Amino acid sequence: MTSPFTYLRNVRAEFAHIVWPTRRTAVAHTLVVVVIAIIMALLIGVLDYIFGTAVNRFIIG
């Protein structure tokens, strides 16, 4: 087991190897995630409405 200071020194060294995305890339990926989330929410909402209506018609008659 290494000391906490050695561990933190190694963590800091590993952070130097990380290739951070540019601001433009980060914004583009965020927009993709938001758009996919909105599409999925709409799809789930439409399917919920369709199946809810079908179940209500089946139960109520």
13-54 per-position pLDDT tens digit: 999 999 999 999 999 999 999 999 999 999 999 999 999 999
In a domain, 49, yes or no: yes
Query: Which residues span the domain enclosing 32?
Result: 21-61
In a domain, 14, yes or no: no
Note the pLDDT of residue 27.
98
In a domain, 45, yes or no: yes
In a domain, 50, yes or no: yes
Q: With 90 as the cut, is the pLDDT of residue 61 above it?
A: no
In a domain, 32, yes or no: yes
Note the pLDDT of residue 33.
98
As a whole number of angstroms, the distance between CA 41 and CA 54 comes to: 20
Number of domains into which the chain is organized: 1
- This prediction's pTM: 0.68
As a whole number of angstroms, the distance between CA 47 and CA 49 comes to: 5
Q: With 90 as the cut, is the pLDDT of residue 1 above it?
A: no
In a domain, 28, yes or no: yes
